[in-house]
């Protein structure tokens, strides 16, 4: 009696354990720095190597530092600092895919000497492992084995693909510009649609511009550009559920100025990388039950876990906060500019039909004090909890991407800062589903020989022909053929007659 295993593959997503690590960044400029006004940071993973039990990856922290020179000039230093990281988990296998998120939790300026700056960053890494896992289902061609097959829905991974493209923005300034101080771009995914062998990703790039006019006024402007990109991915159908993440390649952003009679035209080119992953539900035939007409069998089953990917949620929310300076701090006579904002998500979960996102923003505000005629910097830390309705049940696993836009800071009575901004949030959702298959069969002793030519079975309402045939170890069609007056499943208790060929 021969059994073989037919294997099929299901997709599994597993959240890897969060951890923190430190990265020391050494920056250099030709200017003689008096003090640091603002530091804005963005971290991202670049390449990963997946081995059994460990995933090693590289990444970069893009830093934008605003400083004041000893001559009183405002300067900008953009730098990329490389780092390496790794995840260790016995579940990781060669061939798996890994979605990595790295965020800078905090930073400290260790030293400033001349044009050299040393910044220590505390980074938090989190990851979601996406993998295919094989499940074995029993099959056999032996005549004395009766098998009952069934179709189950299994979730599978179609694959993933990446594409890099540029989004161009134009910003008009109606007065002469001395220089652009900073440009900060963020990308927000608004829609993900599956097509035939492609995934369509729609979104917008929000760019903040800080510039100095010829009349020495600091001005800020926002520009938003929509995009829609088709990413080729073989095997995708319209029924597939796809997710997409996007990031800006900050070190490759280009900003060009063109003077005209009407003012200045600013052209910004923002490189964006999009990664799409697609999942598909399909029918899989498995053996639901089996028995032998000639032998006793010991049947074992095995449960397996797979991930069901759910459509993304998108929502926007406003946040606000305040900060009051202590009495020893210089008074605020004029806010000069907002140097940059950093954001970190601390928690995200589903509860009571709502998705909740918790985090904190840190915004650098540079202001002028008339008495000293000097610029000062203060960091506004604003914690937030935002929520939106969802159709998911409690316990659904989520990951979120948050973009902070439209930041505005005002001052009241020279000491109280008022902050408001907008959050644009993409929520990726998935849940774990458990299935089971027959995974093993052991053949025990031979069934006892029959000592009668006819058997009367007292069957109960609801029983099927399969139930009765399995109980007396005959083929299902024998029960049906020899009892043509009965319909299965039985509507009431019945007597079922079975005839045997006894040697």
Q: Report the largest interatomic distance among the alpha carbons of the chain, rounded to a whole angstrom.
A: 116
Q: Six-digit token pair at 168?
A: 């161009």
Q: Among 249, 244, 123, which residue's Cα sits nearest to residue 185?
A: 249
Share of the chain above pLDDT 90, in %: 70
Query: Which value, in Å, is the radius of gyration of the alpha carbons in the chain?
Result: 32
Q: Region 295-314: what's the mean pLDDT?
A: 90
DSSP designation for 431: E
Q: Region 204-220: what's the mean pLDDT?
A: 88
What would the pLDDT profile of 383-408 be if each residue is shown by its tens digit? 999 999 999 888 899 999 999 988 99
Q: Six-digit token pair at 435?
A: 């299935």
Inter-CA distances, 267 with 40, 43, 81, 223, 264, Å: 22, 25, 26, 11, 10
What is the length of the chain? 503
What would the pLDDT profile of 153-203 be if each residue is shown by its tens digit? 999 999 999 999 999 988 888 888 888 888 889 999 999 999 999 999 999
Query: DSSP string covering 436-502, please?
Result: EEEEEEEEEEEPPPP--SEEEEEEPTT--HHHHHHHHT--HHHHHHH-TT--SS-SS-EEEEEE---
CB contact set of 395 (below 8 Å; sequence gap of 6+): 350, 431
Q: Region 351-367: what's the mean pLDDT?
A: 94
What would the pLDDT profile of 104-125 be if each residue is shown by its tens digit? 999 999 999 998 999 999 999 9
Confidence check: pLDDT of 503 > 60: no
Q: Among 434, 184, 432, which residue's Cα sits nearest to residue 302?
A: 434
- Are 171 and 237 in contact by the 8 Å Cβ rule? The answer is no
- Are 38 and 107 in contact by the 8 Å Cβ rule? The answer is no
Q: Among 192, 193, 156, which residue's Cα sits nearest to residue 280?
A: 156
Instruction: State the pLDDT confidence band at 84, using cuts at 50, 70 and 90.
Output: very high
Separation of alpha carbons 100 and 47, rounded Å? 10
Region of residue 296 (phi > 0: left; psi between -120 and 50: alpha; otherwise: beta): beta
Q: Region 227-253: what's the mean pLDDT?
A: 94
Q: Region 347-367: what's the mean pLDDT?
A: 94
Most confident option among 1-10, 207-216, 350-359: 350-359
- Return mean pLDDT, the chain: 91
Separation of alpha carbons 290 and 145, rounded Å? 7
> Before 163, cis peptide (omega within 30)?
no
Confidence check: pLDDT of 262 > 80: no
Report the first-to-last Cα separation within the chain, whole angstroms: 23
What would the pLDDT profile of 335-345 be if each residue is shown by its tens digit? 998 988 999 99
Q: Six-digit token pair at 195?
A: 């097509």
Residue 11, pLDDT score? 95
What would the pLDDT profile of 440-455 be if each residue is shown by its tens digit? 888 887 878 787 889 8
Please state which of the four CATH numbers 3.30.70.120, 3.30.2350.10, 3.10.350.10, 3.40.640.10 is assigned to the domain occupying 450-503.
3.10.350.10
More confident of the two residues 225 and 258: 225
What would the pLDDT profile of 8-55 be if each residue is shown by its tens digit? 999 999 999 999 999 999 999 999 999 999 999 999 999 999 999 999
DSSP designation for 330: P
Q: Among 485, 480, 453, 454, which residue's Cα sits nearest to residue 469?
A: 480
Separation of alpha carbons 405 and 422, rounded Å? 5
Residue 14, pLDDT score? 93
Confidence check: pLDDT of 470 > 60: yes
Instruction: State the pLDDT confidence band at 502, using cuts at 50, 70 and 90.
Output: low
Query: What pairs with residue 95 in β-bridges?
Result: none
Domains of the chain, residue spans: 14-131, 140-293, 308-443, 450-503
Q: Six-digit token pair at 73?
A: 């000039």
The b/e string for 296-333 (b: 16+ C-beta within 10 A; e otherwise) is ebeeeeeebebbbbbebbbbebebebebebeeeebbbe
Q: Which of 2-6, 59-63, 186-190, 212-216 bottoms out in mean pLDDT, i.e. has the lowest?
A: 2-6
- pTM recorded for the entire structure: 0.85
């Amino acid at each position: 009696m021969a059994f073989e295993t037919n294997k099929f593959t299901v997709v599994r997503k597993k959240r890897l354990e969060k951890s923190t690590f430190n990265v020391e960044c050494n920056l250099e400029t030709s200017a003689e720095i008096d003090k640091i006004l603002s530091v804005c940071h963005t971290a991202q993973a670049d390449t990963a190597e997946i081995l059994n039990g460990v995933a090693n990856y590289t990444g970069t922290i893009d830093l934008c530092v605003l400083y004041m020179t000893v001559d009183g000039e405002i300067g900008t230093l953009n730098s990329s600092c490389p780092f390496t990281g790794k995840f260790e988990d016995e579940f990781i296998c060669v061939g798996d895919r890994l979605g990595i998120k790295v965020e800078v939790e905090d930073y400290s300026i260790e030293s400033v000497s001349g044009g050299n700056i040393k910044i220590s960053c505390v980074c938090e890494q989190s990851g979601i492992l996406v993998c295919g896992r094989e499940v074995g289902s029993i099959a056999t061609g032996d005549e004395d084995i009766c098998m009952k097959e069934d179709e189950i829905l299994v979730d599978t991974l179609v694959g993933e693909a990446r594409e890099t493209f540029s989004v161009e923005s134009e910003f008009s300034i109606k007065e002469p510009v001395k220089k652009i101080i900073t440009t900060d771009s963020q990308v927000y995914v608004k829609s993900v649609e599956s097509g035939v062998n492609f995934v369509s990703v729609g979104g917008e790039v929000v760019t903040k511009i800080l510039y100095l006019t010829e009349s020495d006024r600091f001005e800020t402007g926002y520009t938003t550009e929509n995009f829609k990109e088709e990413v080729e991915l073989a095997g995708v159908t319209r029924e597939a559920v796809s997710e997409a993440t996007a990031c800006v390649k900050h070190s490759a952003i280009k900003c060009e100025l063109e003077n005209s009679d009407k003012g200045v035209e600013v052209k910004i080119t923002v490189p964006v990388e999009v990664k799409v992953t697609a999942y598909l539900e399909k029918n899989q035939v498995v053996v639901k039950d089996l028995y032998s007409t000639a032998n006793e069998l010991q049947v074992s089953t095995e449960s397996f876990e797979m991930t069901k990917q759910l459509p993304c949620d998108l929502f926007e929310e406003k946040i606000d906060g305040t900060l009051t300076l202590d009495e020893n701090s210089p008074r605020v006579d004029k806010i000069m500019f907002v140097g940059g904002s950093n954001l970190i998500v601390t928690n995200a979960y589903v509860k009571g039909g709502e998705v909740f996102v918790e985090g904190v923003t840190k915004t650098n505000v540079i202001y002028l004090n008339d008495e000293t005629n000097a610029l000062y910097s203060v960091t506004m830390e604003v914690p937030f909890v935002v929520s939106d309705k969802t159709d998911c049940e409690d316990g659904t696993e989520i990951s979120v991407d948050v973009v902070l836009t439209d930041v505005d800071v005002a001052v009241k009575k020279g000491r109280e800062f008022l902050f408001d901004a907008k959050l644009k949030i993409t929520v990726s959702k998935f849940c774990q589903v458990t299935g089971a298959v027959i995974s093993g069969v052991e053949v025990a002793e031979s069934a006892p020989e029959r000592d009668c030519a006819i058997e009367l079975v007292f069957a109960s309402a609801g029983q099927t022909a399969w139930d009765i045939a399995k109980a007396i170890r005959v083929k299902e069609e024998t029960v049906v053929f020899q009892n043509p007056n009965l319909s299965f499943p039985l509507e009431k208790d019945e007597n079922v007659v079975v005839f045997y060929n006894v040697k």
